[in-house]
Amino acid sequence: MKTKTLAAVFMAIVGLAVVSSIAQNAPPGGKKGGGKKGGPGDQKGLVKPTMADAVKVNVYADNWFVLFINGELVAVDSIKFTPHNVVSVDILPEYPMTIAVMAKDNADPKTGLEYGDHIGDGGFCIKFSDGTVSNAKWKAKNFFRGPLYSDVKNPKVEYTVIPTNWFAVDFDDSKWANATEYTEERVNPKEPFFNADFKGASFIWTSDLDLDNTVIFRTKVENPGWVKRWNTKPDLDVSGAPFR
């Protein structure tokens, strides 16, 4: 009798503990997936973007890049020159989409040479999961050239002033030449390139892959049938960061 009584008491305690645990972890109101009343989920009419709305971007640069989309900074290469790396980011697209990239080859600013006495070569490749890829339709302009005439004995360089608003949506690049496409063999990308999806994208630069060291690329992507699914926008202001 004593054994049965102890067992009954033990089962009663376990049962109360389970009920208590369920009560503590249940959402308010006892409804699955519920939230605090009056929270963001209860605001009628708001449609928020999800990762299903995002577009993935893969970037490979020889040797460094900074990427702007619709005038806003999106990505900066985290490794200055070697090892060559792939940068992948997710973006929320807004069409028409203006893409602007500054790419830099590894070159001494005073001589244009790399590793002391070598002439380097550049190369840039980018692919968006919406089908946007780098190709000869992009605009390209050089702003740092050297060593002039490939003279490694007496190297000299030439700079062109970079416009302050080169990444802006309304910047006029109509007089720029189109980018030049280069073969994969010519650019000779390193292993990370082959581990990412760049299918359909071409390596681009100016017409001089060897002597042009700072190149800005621009293109505009139209998507007439695209309609933004969400109606919310950020409340925070990151313009001017990190200086304010």
Q: What is the pTM of this model?
A: 0.82
Give bridge partners of residue 176 from the DSSP assignment.
none
What residues make up the domain containing 208? 51-221
CATH number of the CATH domain containing 100 = 2.60.120
- Residue 54: strand, helix, or coil: coil
Categorize the per-residue pLDDT at 221 as very low, low, confident or very high, splitting at 50, 70 and 90. Answer: very high
Cβ pair 104, 174 in contact under 8 A = no
Average pLDDT value over all residues in the chain: 86
The pLDDT assigned to 139 comes to 98
pLDDT for 61 equals: 97
pLDDT band for position 85 (cuts 50, 70, 90): very high
Q: What are phi and psi of 233, to 5 degrees?
A: -145, 160
> Does residue 124 form part of some domain?
yes
The predicted-structure confidence for 12-68, as pLDDT tens digits, reads as follows 433 433 333 333 343 333 333 333 444 455 578 999 999 999 999 999 999 999 999
Provide the domain count of the chain: 1
What pLDDT shows up at residue 42?
54
pLDDT at 237: 86
**Would you say residue 230 lies in a domain?**
no
At 197 the pLDDT is 97
CA distance 85 to 199: 17
- By percentage, how much of the chain surpasses pLDDT 70? 83
Structure tokens at 214: 């700072």
Instruction: Provide the residue type at 179 as one letter.
Output: A
Average pLDDT over residues 115-139: 97
Question: Which residue type sits at 140?
Answer: A
| Mean pLDDT, range 149-160, rounded to an integer | 97
The residue count for the chain: 244
Question: Which pLDDT value is given to residue 238?
Answer: 85
202 phi-psi bin (left φ>0, alpha ψ -120 to 50, beta other): beta
Percent of the chain with pLDDT over 90: 76
Residue 149 counted as domain residue: yes
Instruction: Please report whether residue 183 resides in a domain.
Output: yes
Is the model's pLDDT at 220 over the cut of 60? yes
Domain annotation covers residue 13: no
Q: Is residue 73 domain-resident? A: yes
Report the C-alpha gap between 61 and 64 in whole angstroms.
5
Q: Let me know if residue 5 belongs to a domain.
A: no
Backbone angles phi, psi at 142, to 5 degrees: -90, 145
DSSP letter assigned to residue 179 = P
Percent helix, strand and coil across the chain, each to the nearest 5: 20, 25, 55
The pair of three-digit structure tokens given for residue 128, joined into one six-digit string: 């968006």
- Is the residue at 4 inside a domain? no
- Asked whether the predicted pLDDT for residue 210 surpasses 60, the reply is yes
Distinct helix (H) and strand (E) counts, the chain: 3, 12
> CA angle at residue 143 from 117 to 90, to 5 degrees?
100
